[in-house]
A = this chain, B = another copy of it.
Amino acid sequence: MNTVERVEKGAAAAAAFLGVTKAARDSALDLIAERLIQARPDIEKANIADITAAEASGLPGPLLKRLAFSGTKIDDSIEGIRALRRLPDPLGRVLEARLLDEGLILRRVSCPIGLVAMIFESRPDALVQMACLAAKSGNAIVLKGGSEALTTNRVLVCVIAAAGEEAGLPKDWLTALETRAEIGELLDLDQYVDLVIPRGSKEFVARIKATSRIPVLGHSDGVCHVYLHEDADPEMAKAIVLDSKTQYPAVCNAAEVLLVHRAYAEQHILPLLQALAAKGVYLDLCPRSVSLLEASRGAGIHYSIKTDENWSIEYLDLRMAVKIVDSLDAAISHINRYGSGHTDAIVSASGEAARRFMTGVDSADVFHNASTRFSDGYRFGLGAEVGISTGKLHARGPMGLEGLTTYKWLLEGSGQIVADYASGGKSFVHRDLPLDAGRE
């Protein structure tokens, strides 16, 4: 079967999925968990084969670690499925309800998107998670995992697809592609595929975005800022900067650039930079902050003078750029120009400054007096995290299951025709109804 045929079958499955009940989706998740437990020996055997081959080919240690799928990693995946099962149904939620006229009720109701393509590098646990997110949200799915994990992924796809079908999900609700060439073909099939969700390195996601005609949900860069306003509390500022930069520097919501108001910098920049240096952070300092540092003889701080204007570097490491700005507006402009629209924070005692910052910064997540590291689906209380989007349409910032749904408008009438309203014989009432009254 070629890629087009596979994807066509996936699209047919997406249409059939609309008629699948919540009970079937729930029992699919139960059965997938059960069958994965039963298949554990096969999965671990396949995974050892992948790891052996990867070691022989010289795959670096961190990637080998991501490839491993056994023991507690499988336990965690199973627990993840059970937690997903307990989340409220993302489908059939009434988002809007309005009485248009006597006996004519309009409801906007959440429903599946259709056929979602999920493309990711190695990590077999991501395959399990994404397949289950799709089952929960009623979407058919085309998966493409990393080639290093091919043997493991084949076992997982086989077990999960069969368990889903046995529980009543449509045939072909889960299909898999295996080669990189197939991704290219897939990304052209915008008549069948409604959404692409890539997961992997920044370069990987950027490449998918640049290639696809289908909407892509995700983010490539996380160039996050912390801005210290002139009236920031020094202790709070230090705690937030250290947490944003050093609590877990390798992830997208870690801060990369520190912007400091001139007046704050003159008073407080030395102890702040010392604290960063003490945590092992290497600093790229703007010339103005170097002057302040040298004036106060900041010892033991490793830094270089930043002479270029490249303020969009995502270090993902214990390294941070520092720039002194003259005003709140300059900070906002800098962020909108060089940031990636992911997460940016202000530390300030002033509610008015915070309001201006939060309104003016054009990013998915804008925080006041809190670490950028809070930008995360679980911390936001979204239940599951489908991903973080830096696009502005459909979903922005951390996405829960809602990111895998769209809506349709359902109108319940009793024989109404437009001619009666056009003639003036009848007129619209347009009265909003409580949402729970519309709950099916």
Contact = CB atoms under 8 A, between A and B. Distances in A.
Contact of A380 (B98, B361, B363, B419): B98
Nearest to A383: B430
A275 B87 CA distance: 51
Contacts of A365: 408-409, 411
A409 B380 contact: yes
A373 interface: yes
A381 B430 contact: yes
Contacts of A418: 243, 247-248, 371, 373-374, 379
Interface string A411-426: 1111111110110000
Contacts of A355: 440
Given A100-B380, A239-B417, A422-B247, A411 B370 contact: yes
Contact of A411 (B236, B368, B422): B368
A408 B215 contact: no
Interface in A391-419: 392-394, 396-398, 406-419
Contacts of A393: 113, 194-195, 215, 393-394, 406
A409 B100 contact: no
Interface in A228-251: 233, 235-236, 239-240, 242-243, 247-248
A163 interface: no
Interface in A246-260: 247-248
Interface in A64-88: none
A61 interface: no
Nearest to A113: B392
Contacts of A113: 392-393
Interface in A351-377: 354-356, 358-371, 373-375
A414 to B, nearest CB: 6
A72 to B, nearest CB: 19
Given A374-B416, A396-B406, A362 B98 contact: no
A406 B341 CA distance: 13
Contacts of A366: 408-411
A417 B371 contact: yes
A189 interface: no
Nearest to A212: B213
A198 interface: no
Contacts of A421: 379
A204 interface: no
B428 A392 contact: no
A411 to B, nearest CB: 4
Given A247-B422, A430-B381, A369 B408 contact: no
Nearest to A356: B19
B240 A417 contact: yes
Nearest to A237: B415
A397 B440 CA distance: 21
A106 interface: yes
A358 B410 contact: yes
A367 B406 contact: no
30 contacts: A15-B360, A18-B359, A18-B362, A19-B332, A19-B356, A100-B374, A100-B381, A106-B381, A113-B392, A114-B362, A114-B392, A213-B213, A247-B419, A354-B412, A364-B409, A365-B411, A366-B408, A368-B410, A368-B413, A369-B413, A369-B415, A369-B416, A370-B416, A371-B418, A374-B411, A374-B418, A392-B406, A394-B394, A396-B408, A398-B409
